[in-house]
Chains A and B, each alone.
Chain A
């Protein structure tokens, strides 16, 4: 992490600056958070959270559990009020113009709120009516979202009987039912099977054409595959706000490789250390062969150098995998960068 500014996030993370430098795709800002702070009793759930999201953006809201993602989203949707700060949807304050703001939002809470004693159609009809759609419009929209989400066979099934994956789809269906310009999705892929996850991600990606999407996740891969931009929150504070590409590029700057090599440990370590660009070698223990994690200097791709070093010594290279950073490591790096910058 000793690379300071050069290797850190070039789109700066502290809020004031990021707002100034952020280039939004469109000139309309539809989601705005201004120094949102929420205390539960004396416990600060979020502190001074600010960002703004332009029309048509798909933004990932990334952070570990308990970082404050849900709290922030609940404030944006008007479910709870911030202790300090303001939030606006399409320019409407979520407190003083709460109902108007809510009309612009489709929300999928983390708990996927469903009435198990209703069928899919009944449920959607109920929510359509609460959101002020006319009867014929409700019927129209129900068949549209049922088509879009592949729920056709299940339209008259009680929600309590649906699998987790299909319940998630019904949850998404209610979020987009009233065609809100803004979609706020809290952990939309948690707890569903991998096949469904792929399907759901594809779907959310396609929603970007008609909606501005803010989705939370604690999986970096998910966010980077769907979103153009990611906001990282850690312990209630925003620690990064960057384009996904830049984030990915920055993280690749200090790549690591895990290798398994059948050979005498001491000699192997020496040989690896001799490869130019290797900055650190960790031992990962011995299974069939000794495994090592190799840290490279920023910007170096060591794969070919390592494999030839192994082959030259007559050892067998059993495994060679580039390792991406875990979310925890990203937080460590990002917060370290922030401190370096603040200093």
Chain B
């Protein structure tokens, strides 16, 4: 556990040594704030968080791969990966450590949006249940997006490639349910079942569905596992 923590600490610090963390947090807060103001400016505004969290998932599709792209790709480029994997540290400790660093930053940025929640309670009378469900869904969405980004960062030494491939996978998983109308019911159900956006919409309506939790957890575990496996494969080939 200590190794994982050591790596998480270094990666989190690295985010703040470079401008990355500041830029990403600024863009994230700027856009979510814009969505919040937009939803409150309507004639009869809803006192709900889903009005700004739903469009904010699209920010995650773009920002998550940017946040994760350097995690492994940069180590490959610099050669520091040789240090990590010749130190007495297990592959999964390295990967999980890095994942937790990205997750920490994302959760931190999400917590800052609680300002809007505070405003809702100050000036309106929102239902607490949907707010909790929406935030749980939003955090799961983000955590899954970061796992995908982490994986694409681990397959290349080129950060741009890592970000673009991650962005491609995320975009596909966000819109895949839109094709369900044109492919027949059974395949359509599968496509909807694979869609991150479809699963998130249940959360945004106030439902913490077991299927949604299971879906996002599976995506996280699968892609973190694939990232770990990538090292083993590269070691043997």
Contact = CB atoms under 8 A, between A and B. Distances in A.
Contact of B87 (A80, A81, A114, A127): A127
A72 to B, nearest CB: 14
Contacts of B235: 79-81
Interface centre among A77, A113, A114 (most CB of B within 10 A): A113
Interface in B216-237: 234-237
Contacts of B80: 113-115
Interface in B4-39: 6-7, 10, 14, 17-18
Interface string A131-155: 1100000000000000000000000
Contact of B82 (A79, A100, A126, A127): A79
Interface stretch (A1-9, A103-111, A216-224, A237-245): A103-111
B188 to A, nearest CB: 42
B6 A126 contact: yes
B86 interface: yes
A168 to B, nearest CB: 13
B94 to A, nearest CB: 9
Interface residues of B, number: 25
Contacts of B79: 109, 111-113
Nearest to A83: B236
A115 B78 contact: yes
Contact of A77 (B17, B78, B86, B236): B86
B183 interface: no
B236 A81 contact: yes
Given A109-B79, A113-B79, A115-B80, A99 B86 contact: no
B52 to A, nearest CB: 34
A14 interface: no
B87 A130 contact: yes
A113 B88 contact: no
Indicate the member of B80, B84, B86, B90 with the most A CB atoms within 10 Å. Answer: B86
Nearest to A158: B17
A115 B79 CA distance: 10
Given A81-B235, A81-B236, A109 B82 contact: yes
Contacts, number: 71
A74 B82 CA distance: 9
If over half of B's interface residues share one DSSP class (helix, strand or loop), that class is named, otherwise mixed; here it is helix
A112 to B, nearest CB: 7
Contacts of B6: 126, 129-130
Contacts of B185: none
Given A40-B237, A81-B235, A129-B6, A113 B87 contact: no
B86 A130 contact: no
A71 interface: no
B237 A99 contact: no
B104 interface: no
Interface string A87-105: 0000000000001101101
Contacts of A116: 78
A59 B79 CA distance: 25
A131 B82 contact: no
Interface in B182-237: 234-237
Given A40-B237, A103-B88, A127 B83 contact: yes
B17 A117 contact: yes
A100 B87 CA distance: 10
B17 A107 contact: no
B236 to A, nearest CB: 5
A102 B78 CA distance: 21
Contacts of A109: 79, 82-83
A63 B78 CA distance: 25
B58 interface: no
Given A77-B86, A113-B83, A126 B78 contact: no
Interface of B: 2-3, 6-7, 10, 14, 17-18, 78-90, 234-237
13 contacts: A40-B237, A74-B82, A78-B86, A80-B236, A99-B88, A99-B89, A99-B90, A105-B86, A112-B79, A114-B78, A117-B17, A130-B7, A174-B83
